Every structure is written in structure tokens, then in C-alpha cells.
């Protein structure tokens, strides 16, 4: 996953943007672009303006997922950082928000005709994997508990290239299996919008075509 995502980011970074095409109204300064990107990444500003229902489910899922990921950092560090400890109770219930957001996004793939028309099997696969990850994680937290100490020992062992004993609980194996599958397909899926948003010329360009002529690197070399 790391190598695949790195290669994709390298490709995005090297793809030329021959035209000045920021979506207007657009910022006219670099600082304005930074603020615009921050609002886009944190608040999903453009999605909020276009569709409130999709924004609600999408933002709920992504923010819940970030809290869940922060909570899971405790499995990869010997001493739990203070801010990870603070996030523990919030991360627990963020799993419900993550699952609710996912189910809303998945339902629209079936219920909205124009979305259903452009939905591919891979879209359902991504959502199914994420729902299975969230659902199995909540089951281990509230229904069928597993030995989290042994899980942490196993994860810390992997970081040191050492294989430790992993609990054989079916729900845990399903959870980790879905995570592994998601990591495998991530570099070739639509989930690449996560790093890709930072390379979108409609978002990361300054709206100053009159003040400064825009030239892609390859065009500048031709002129030189």
C-alpha cells in the first residue's frame, strides 16, 4: 500500500497543469489557497454547497474514521501518547458515526437513480469492506471481546519484524482480513481521492491569470 500510494502521488505531482482552471470564486493569494484547501479537507466545503445529505453522511464517516484511527494508535506504541489516551472514549463511539455515515453513502448507491447508474462493482466492494471493518470493530468492543493485550503484542511484533501469537477469534480475523484487503486495493481504487485532492488544479491554483502568466514546466522549457 505504501509503495503503491507513493507511486500514485509521484504521478499526480508530475502531471502537468497546462491551464489555469481554479473553480471560482477562487482565492487570489497563496494563503487563500491554503485556507481553501483546509476548508475542503476538514469541512468538505464544496460538497456542503452541492448536496447537504451527501455532505452529512460523508463528513460523519470521515471524521468518525479519523477518531477511530487515532484511537487505534495505542496498538502500535509501547507507551500510549497522552492525546491518544484522551481520544479513547471519543474514538469508541466514533465507530458508530463511521458506520452510520457509511450506510448512508451506500444507501444512496441503491436509492438515487443517477448515482446507481454510474456505480461500479468496485464501489460496492470498497463500501462493503469499510462496513465490515467498522461493524466487526464495534462487535469486538461491545459484543464479542478479544484479548487486546495479545493484539497489541502482535502489532508491536510486526513493527519489529517478529511474528507473535495472534488471538484466533473469528471476528478479529475478519476485522484484520478486511483491513488487509483494503490496504491491498487502496492504491488502485477511488479511495485515492484522499491524497489526490491536494493535487487538483481546480482547488490548489491561485486565481491570478491576469497578474501572472501560467506555464506548465514542460511549456516553460519549450519557450526557453
Buried b / exposed e across 139-169, counting CB within 10 Å, b at 16+?
bbeeeeebeeeebbebbeeeeeeeeeebeeb
CA 111 to centroid of chain Cα atoms = 24
The CATH number corresponding to 29-204 among 1.20.950.20, 3.30.1440.10, 1.10.760.10, 1.10.3210.10 equals 1.20.950.20
Please give the model's pTM, rounded to 2 decimal places: 0.90
7-60 pLDDT, tens digit per residue, is 999 999 988 888 889 998 899 999 999 999 999 999 999 999 999 999 999 999
Cell numbers standing for residue 118: 454510474
Across the chain, mean pLDDT equals: 93
CA 196 to CA 16: how far, in whole Å?
A: 14
Would you list the domain boundaries of the chain? 29-204
CA distances from 193 to 64, 197, 212 (A): 18, 6, 29
What crossing angle do the helices spanning 121-142 and 82-111 adopt, rounded to 10°? 140
Cell numbers standing for residue 191: 479511495
Amino acid at each position: 500500500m505504501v509503495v503503491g500510494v507513493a507511486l500514485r502521488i509521484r504521478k499526480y505531482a508530475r502531471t502537468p497543469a497546462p491551464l489555469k482552471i481554479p473553480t471560482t470564486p477562487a482565492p487570489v493569494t497563496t494563503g487563500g489557497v491554503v485556507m481553501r484547501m483546509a476548508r475542503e479537507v476538514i469541512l468538505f466545503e464544496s460538497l456542503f454547497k452541492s448536496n447537504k445529505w451527501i455532505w452529512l453522511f460523508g463528513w460523519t464517516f470521515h471524521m468518525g474514521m479519523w477518531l477511530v484511527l487515532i484511537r487505534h494508535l495505542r496498538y502500535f506504541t509501547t507507551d500510549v501518547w497522552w492525546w491518544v489516551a484522551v481520544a479513547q472514549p471519543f474514538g469508541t463511539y466514533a465507530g458508530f458515526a463511521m458506520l452510520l455515515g457509511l450506510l448512508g453513502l451506500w444507501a444512496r448507491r441503491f436509492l438515487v437513480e443517477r448515482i446507481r447508474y454510474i456505480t461500479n462493482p468496485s464501489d460496492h466492494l470498497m463500501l462493503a469492506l469499510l462496513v465490515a471493518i467498522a461493524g466487526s470493530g464495534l462487535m469486538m468492543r461491545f459484543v464479542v471481546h478479544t484479548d487486546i493485550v495479545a493484539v497489541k503484542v502482535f502489532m508491536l511484533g510486526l513493527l519489529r519484524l517478529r511474528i507473535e501469537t495472534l488471538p484466533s477469534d473469528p471476528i478479529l480475523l475478519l476485522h484484520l482480513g478486511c483491513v488487509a484487503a483494503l490496504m491491498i486495493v487502496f492504491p488502485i481504487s477511488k479511495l485515492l481521492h484522499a491524497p489526490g485532492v491536494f493535487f487538483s488544479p481546480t482547488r490548489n491554483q491561485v486565481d491570478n491569470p491576469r497578474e501572472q502568466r501560467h506555464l506548465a514546466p514542460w511549456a516553460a522549457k519549450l519557450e526557453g
